[in-house]
Structures are given as C-alpha cells and as structure tokens.
Amino acid sequence: MQSRLDLFIDRMVSQRACLNAGAAMVANMQGPVFELGLGNGRTYHHMCSILPISDIFVFERAVASHPDSTPPDDQLMLGDVYDTLPLALDRFGPTARLVHADLGGHNRSKNDVFARAISPYVEPLLAKGGVMVASDKMYFETMTEVALPEHAVHGRCFIYQK
C-alpha cells in the first residue's frame, strides 16, 4: 500500500509535470494565468519560474505564503473564490491561457464537492485553447481532458483544454 508520503510525492511530481506541460501548451497564447490558492507559495514560485510573473494572478482568501513566494499586491485577488472569480470574468473576460488549482485537502469527497462547485466559475475564464491544470477531476462542459505528460501519475493531476 502507498504511504501518505508516496501519495504526496506522486501529487507534487504530477503537479510539476502537468504545469510544465500546460505552460508549453499555451506558450504561443496571450492572456493571464490564474493560480487558485496560494498556500505557502511553492507552486506559485514554480509557475513564476516557467511563466512571466507579470501574467500570474493569484486568488487567495488570506496570504500566508513564504516571503519569496508572495505575489505583488496588484496581482492578488483577495477574497472568497465565489466572489473573486466572477470579478475576474468581468475584468478579463474569457482570456485566461492557463489556470491552476490545487484543491488539495485530505478529504477527497470534500475536494470533489468543491471541484463540482467551482468548475462553472472557472470554465468561462479560459480562452479558446486555454488550459486548466487541477489536482482533482473537474466538471466542465466545453473543455476536454487531455493526456498526461511523462512523470505525471494517473489520478493525481488532471489537464483540460478549451
């Protein structure tokens, strides 16, 4: 049986592989990149290493990240995602080229409820050809699940494209 450490490593390795693949898929597109949830900022830090920092907007309820992984104030959408995602749609329209979300709680059924609830908030933000990388299965109507890249573990990360 896999330990929690095994599962966690699979999740982190898959997340990195899928983010790298997602960034490559949208390399020729314009438009903002959205990170849903900042946490300690490790993943945001990685996104900043593969994408222009000025394109990345972070949605977070309250910032508690490592100082070297904290977005500039004007790229932080502070508040509940059910409020801030509609505000982002008003501001940006359907222009996002990449969205990442690590719902990442310990409770998979709770994550699934959250994934179902936020899917319709995320889907309209993406441009045609835009990509969503998620730690959980999402529930989209106009986006297609695409094959995982090398090193990503089936079921630990998901990639969708509009």
Binding site for a copy of itself (CB under 8 A): 1-6, 8-9, 12-13, 15-16, 41-43, 45-46, 48-50, 66, 68-69, 106
Other C-beta atoms lying within 10 Å of the C-beta of residue 112: 15
As a whole number of angstroms, the distance between CA 19 and CA 95 comes to 18
Other C-beta atoms lying within 10 Å of the C-beta of residue 46: 18
What is the nearest approach in angstroms of a copy of itself to the Cβ of residue 61? Answer: 20
What is the nearest approach in angstroms of a copy of itself to the Cβ of residue 73? Answer: 21
45: enclosing H helix or E strand: helix 42-50
Residue among 51 and 88 whose Cβ is closer to a copy of itself: 51
Strands 158-161 and 76-78, by their bridges, are: unpaired
What is the nearest approach in angstroms of a copy of itself to the Cβ of residue 65? Answer: 10
**Rg of the chain in Å (alpha carbons):** 15
Residue among 20 and 119 whose Cβ is closer to a copy of itself: 20
What is the nearest approach in angstroms of a copy of itself to the Cβ of residue 157? Answer: 13
As a whole number of angstroms, the distance between CA 134 and CA 128 comes to 18
Residue among 15 and 119 whose Cβ is closer to a copy of itself: 15
Residue among 3 and 144 whose Cβ is closer to a copy of itself: 3
What is the nearest approach in angstroms of a copy of itself to the Cβ of residue 5? Answer: 4
Residue among 17 and 26 whose Cβ is closer to a copy of itself: 17
Tokens of 53: 């920092």
Whats the size of the chain, residue-wise? 162
